[in-house]
Chain A
Amino acid sequence: MDFDLPTEHQMIQEEVRRFCDEEIEPIAQDIEDEHRFPQEIFDQLADLDVMGVPIDEEYGGLGGDTLMYAVVAEELGRVSGSVALSYVAHTSLGTKPLDLFGTPKQKEEWLEPLASGEGMGAWALTEPGSGSDASDMDTMAVKDGDEYVLNGTKQFITNANVANSVLVKAVTDPGAGYDGISTFIVDPENDDGFEVSTVWDKMGLNASPTCEIQLDDVRVPEDRLLGEEGEGWKQTMKTLDGGRISIAAISTGLAQGAYEAAKTYSKEREQFGKPISKFDAIRDKIVHMERQVERARLLTHKSAWQYDQGESVTKSSSLAKLDASEAARKVAEEAVQVLGGYGYTEDFSPQRFMRDAKLMEIGEGTSEIQHLVIGRELGL
């Protein structure tokens, strides 16, 4: 058993952290205030080969493992939840399924631009009427000659308004339940009938666009079907296994960022003649932060490692996501407290981590749903 990251991973962590500190952190609050998707950051990340970390090298990816991907996602989360969320939605949800389930021709056309970072990926499962109960969807895909016709509304789709492609889940066989769902590659720019109807204003993560989309008689050729008809749900389960690891990694990063801000501040801020870190109440908060961050990271790395061994990660990724997202919220909230009045201002980062952390307990399966999954895995 070796708890040290491999040298390659350590170097990647170090260099990505340097990039994050120098290029992203200085604008992290501005992009939130402006509700602006920072395209220039993603262009730079593409140049550094960050946009296709766990993707096949043959199609422009880096060919790295899930542990490497988790390390990168954590570093992004440490400075900007928005950049990190758009990054993992692109990678785990929009890109990885093309790598796992696409034909060579689909990979050339749709995977390559995403893996190289030329375009952003997105993934549309959730609907206004189906969130936690995601398979109960209304979006339909009806075969018409050598085309499919898609109709429906998708809700809360990250990156949809900046995406090169959106992987849309739709019902192809209404009587078949889980086995009646399929995945389609939709091109937001060139497919008629695709419309972004809303870009939501949110309590945080406002530099990561969250969109409602309308599919109104969108006609796609049959080679836009990803995998086979009826495989959409199985693909979803596999996709969410990796996705939960990435949300756990971002959460660890958010917690780490908040923890660092609180720790630094507590050593500098003096009240009653000494640094506030010398008061038991504050010291204990910082120690508790360290404990939660470390636990979140261990669970995340363990699950990533298991994924890389080809083992099932349904339980471990769920546990990691559940624990790390809760750690992020609690650590961020305590960080606000450690900074006192300054913590409540937008000049300091803890409030941003606190807003961003909350989503991690909701997206890609709420904490309640993670309990359900883990309970099922435990045979309860």
Chain B
Amino acid sequence: MKVLVTVKEVAAVEDEFEIDGTAIDEAYLEYDLNEWDDYAIEEGVQISESEDDVEVVSVTIGPERSEETIRMALAKGADRAVRVWDDSLEDAEMLDVEAKTNLLAAVVEEEEPDLVLSGVQADDDGFGATGVSLADEVGFEWAAVVNDLELDVEGGVASVRRELEGGVEELTDVDLPAVLTIQTGINEPRYASLRGIRQAQRKEIKPMTLDDLGLSADVAESDLEIVDMYEPETESDATLFEGSPDETAGQLAEVLRDGGVGQ
């Protein structure tokens, strides 16, 4: 069985930053593994630990810098990795869901996984759509926002629990091959062991260009255009109570009473 885990390097913004045109100035960005993907990796690795003959392959779309991120997936137990990048992607202003879908679909065709695990969403651009869109493109079944997974490898069925709005949960059986978008909290992502990190240096990260995937440069073309980027006005209305617990409790009670709470 083969599990493909999609991972993304996401940009985190420092507390203070500046916006440069329609993007945040590079100087204020730090890059890290997308939080949801950490759970997807853990889920993939746990499957390989509990079932026989499971290969976990991790895939990312990103420049050479993103090897750092994908190597952490290898350190945590993925067997090998694929990194898709190309000069024409470098030049694109933004890779939208459609572009990522087409790129990842080409990788799925190449790798033929039984199960694809992605994060529910990416912490930075937050489209939250790539996993399901990928399933649609490659003709896989799917389930989104999965917070529990039982795998019946023989029967080719993934029994999942999905988190719906308003605290409602749904149990679904999904036939493989399938794409599952993984929610945080489904497991407890491990720390990479030092031995894992050392071994990861020798594991393969296969670079793939558009050519390698049989795609042309127009895959990066997008119907979306970012027209503006700004910080919304924040209305901060914090009251700081000072004094002894007795005094501050009194002050709090007063605010609550004035606000109409607990009349």
Q: Which of B189-197, B233-241, B255-263 contacts A (4 or more CB under 8 A)?
A: B189-197
Interface string of B176-209 (1 = CB under 8 A from A): 0000000000000001111101101100000000
Q: Which of A5-13, A78-86, A162-170, A291-299 contacts B (4 or more CB under 8 A)?
A: A5-13
Report the Cα distance A64→B198, complex, angstroms. Answer: 9
Q: Which of A10, A16, A48 neighbours the largest number of chain B CB atoms within 10 Å of its CB? A: A48
Q: Which of B50-58, B67-75, B145-153 contacts A (4 or more CB under 8 A)?
A: B67-75
Chain B residue numbers with a CB within 8 Å of A49 are 193-195
Contact check, A12 vs B201: say whether CB atoms are below 8 A apart.
no
Contact check, A11 vs B72: say whether CB atoms are below 8 A apart.
yes
Report the Cα distance A48→B192, complex, angstroms. Answer: 7
Contact check, B191 vs A15: say whether CB atoms are below 8 A apart.
yes
Min CB distance A115 to B, Å, is 12
Which residues of A in the span 48-85 have a Cβ within 8 Å of any Cβ on B? 48-50, 53, 62-64, 72
Chain B residue numbers with a CB within 8 Å of A19 are 191
Chain B residue numbers with a CB within 8 Å of A53 are 194
Contact check, A64 vs B191: say whether CB atoms are below 8 A apart.
no
Report the Cα distance A63→B199, complex, angstroms. Answer: 12
Chain B residue numbers with a CB within 8 Å of A7 are 68, 71, 201
Interface string of B68-92 (1 = CB under 8 A from A): 1001100100000000000000000
Chain B residue numbers with a CB within 8 Å of A8 are 197-198, 201
Min CB distance B235 to A, Å, is 21
Chain B residue numbers with a CB within 8 Å of A16 are 194
Chain A residue numbers with a CB within 8 Å of B197 are 8, 11-12, 15
Chain A residue numbers with a CB within 8 Å of B193 are 47-49
**Nearest residue, chain A, Cβ from B76:** A15
Contact check, A48 vs B191: say whether CB atoms are below 8 A apart.
yes
Contact check, A62 vs B75: say whether CB atoms are below 8 A apart.
no
Contact check, A11 vs B191: say whether CB atoms are below 8 A apart.
no
Which residues of A in the span 91-130 have a Cβ within 8 Å of any Cβ on B? none
Chain A residue numbers with a CB within 8 Å of B71 are 7, 11
Report the Cα distance A19→B190, complex, angstroms. Answer: 10
Contact check, B192 vs A15: say whether CB atoms are below 8 A apart.
yes
Contact check, B191 vs A18: say whether CB atoms are below 8 A apart.
yes
Given known A7-B201, A8-B201, A11-B75, contact A48–B194 (CB-CB < 8 A): yes
**Nearest residue, chain B, Cβ from A50:** B194
Interface string of A150-163 (1 = CB under 8 A from B): 00000000000000
Q: Which of A11, A18, A64 neighbours the largest number of chain B CB atoms within 10 Å of its CB? A: A11
**Nearest residue, chain A, Cβ from B16:** A267
Interface string of A167-180 (1 = CB under 8 A from B): 00000000000000
Min CB distance A213 to B, Å, is 32
Min CB distance A209 to B, Å, is 25
Min CB distance A324 to B, Å, is 23
Chain A residue numbers with a CB within 8 Å of B195 are 49, 62
Min CB distance B154 to A, Å, is 32
Report the Cα distance A8→B203, complex, angstroms. Answer: 12
Min CB distance A221 to B, Å, is 33
Chain A residue numbers with a CB within 8 Å of B72 are 11, 15
Chain B residue numbers with a CB within 8 Å of A10 are 68
Which residues of B in the span 85-107 have a Cβ within 8 Å of any Cβ on A? none
Min CB distance B202 to A, Å, is 10
Report the Cα distance A7→B200, complex, angstroms. Answer: 11
Report the Cα distance A48→B190, complex, angstroms. Answer: 10
Q: Which of B71, B197, B200 neighbours the largest number of chain A CB atoms within 10 Å of its CB? A: B197
**Nearest residue, chain A, Cβ from B72:** A11
**Nearest residue, chain B, Cβ from A11:** B197
Min CB distance A268 to B, Å, is 10
Which residues of B in the span 28-47 have a Cβ within 8 Å of any Cβ on A? none
**Nearest residue, chain B, Cβ from A22:** B191
Chain A residue numbers with a CB within 8 Å of B192 are 11, 15, 48
Contact check, A12 vs B194: say whether CB atoms are below 8 A apart.
yes
Report the Cα distance A8→B71, complex, angstroms. Answer: 10
Chain B residue numbers with a CB within 8 Å of A47 are 193
Min CB distance A10 to B, Å, is 8
**Nearest residue, chain A, Cβ from B196:** A49
Report the Cα distance A62→B194, complex, angstroms. Answer: 8
**Nearest residue, chain A, Cβ from B15:** A267
Contact check, A64 vs B201: say whether CB atoms are below 8 A apart.
no
Chain A residue numbers with a CB within 8 Å of B191 are 15, 18-19, 48
Report the Cα distance A47→B71, complex, angstroms. Answer: 20
Interface string of A1-35 (1 = CB under 8 A from B): 00000011011100110110000000000000000
Chain B residue numbers with a CB within 8 Å of A63 are 198
Report the Cα distance A11→B69, complex, angstroms. Answer: 9
Chain B residue numbers with a CB within 8 Å of A15 are 72, 75, 191-192, 194, 197
Report the Cα distance A47→B201, complex, angstroms. Answer: 20
Report the Cα distance A8→B197, complex, angstroms. Answer: 7
Report the Cα distance A53→B193, complex, angstroms. Answer: 11
Report the Cα distance A49→B200, complex, angstroms. Answer: 14
Chain A residue numbers with a CB within 8 Å of B201 are 7-8
- Chain A residues with CB under 8 Å of chain B are 7-8, 10-12, 15-16, 18-19, 47-50, 53, 62-64, 72
- Chain B residues with CB under 8 Å of chain A are 68, 71-72, 75, 191-195, 197-198, 200-201
| Besides A11-B192, A15-B191, 15 other A-B contacts (C-beta < 8 A) | A7-B68, A8-B198, A11-B71, A11-B75, A12-B194, A12-B197, A15-B194, A16-B194, A49-B193, A49-B194, A53-B194, A62-B194, A62-B198, A63-B198, A64-B194
Can you show 11 pairs from A to B with CB atoms below 8 A apart?
A: A7-B68, A7-B201, A8-B201, A10-B68, A11-B71, A11-B75, A11-B200, A15-B72, A19-B191, A50-B194, A62-B195
Task: Give 7 nearest A-B pairs by CB, closest first.
Answer: A49-B194, A49-B195, A48-B193, A11-B197, A49-B193, A15-B192, A8-B201
